């Protein structure tokens, strides 16, 4: 049976290059992964006062994370860090205390940038956040993508053979990582949140 992998796109832009990257990742993923976007678009700004009576969008978001076998974070870097909308989504998912939706969930971090270092600093910040949230992370390969429109089609096609090979390898390594994590935490890993 395929593993259900949610993915978060850390950009709200309708022309997001990271959504294009995510579409490309869906195309090259092995059949053992079934990828679905979990939208962060409708989440309100995090407010501790609303934790116990959250908006419906928050409940939907947390249920989607908890119903996933793994999570991919596909995000830009904003000012050398995690974009606000994505950090906001993670903050909601981590709360209330004792109901951290990310605990034990095998995660992969990847991102595309127009800049030369391909979201490396955002990814470093994200690793700290996910470590605190007790989410295992694929350590290698790392994937820092400098986006060029000549290479990535809006439909997820990849016109450069080396890039396609690398992203295919990334997704197959992520799939193997998901298998490894689930083999030691299943069954019921999603029901046992910190």
Ligand X SMILES: Cc1cc2nc3c(=O)[nH]c(=O)nc-3n(C[C@H](O)[C@H](O)[C@H](O)COP(=O)(O)O)c2cc1C
If one asks whether residue 78 binds ligand X (CB under 6 A), the answer comes out as: yes
Can residue 115 be called a binding residue for ligand X (CB under 6 A)? yes
Query: Residue of minimal CB distance from ligand X?
Result: 115
Q: Which two tokens stand for residue 62?
A: 């947390």
Site membership for ligand X, residue 156 (CB under 6 A)? no
Write out the binding residues for ligand X, residues 5-34 only, by CB under 6 A. 11, 13, 16-18
Among 30, 44, 45, 80, binds ligand X (CB under 6 A): 80
Residues 76 and 111: beta-carbon distance below 8 Å: yes
Q: How far is the CB of 123 from ligand X (least distance, A)?
A: 11
Q: Which residues pair with 152 in a beta bridge?
A: 158
CB-count exposure of residue 119 (10 Å: 0-12, 13-18, 19+): buried
Q: 179 with 70: CB under 8 angstroms?
A: no
CB atoms within 10 A of CB 92: 26
Residues 84-113 that bind ligand X (CB under 6 A): 113
* Binding footprint of ligand X on the chain (CB under 6 A): 11, 13, 16-18, 76-80, 113-115
């Amino acid at each position: 049976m395929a593993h259900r992998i949610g993915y978060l796109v850390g950009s709200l832009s309708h022309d997001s290059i990271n959504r294009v990257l995510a579409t490309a990742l869906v195309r090259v993923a092995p059949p053992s992964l079934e990828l679905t976007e979990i939208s962060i678009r409708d989440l309100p700004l995090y407010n501790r006062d609303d934790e116990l009576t959250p908006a419906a969008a928050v409940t939907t978001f947390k249920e989607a994370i908890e119903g996933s076998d793994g999570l991919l974070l596909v995000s830009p870097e904003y000012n050398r860090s995690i974009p606000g909308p994505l950090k906001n989504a993670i903050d909601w998912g981590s709360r209330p205390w004792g109901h951290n939706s990310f605990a034990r969930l095998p995660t992969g971090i990847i991102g595309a940038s127009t800049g030369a270092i391909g979201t490396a600093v955002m990814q470093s910040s994200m690793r700290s956040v996910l470590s605190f949230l007790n989410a295992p992370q694929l350590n290698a390969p790392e994937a820092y993508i400098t986006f060029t429109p000549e290479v990535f089609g809006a439909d997820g096609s990849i016109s450069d053979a080396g890039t396609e090979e690398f992203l295919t390898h990334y997704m197959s390594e992520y799939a193997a990582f998901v298998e490894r994590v689930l083999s030691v935490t299943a069954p019921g890993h999603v029901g046992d949140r910190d």
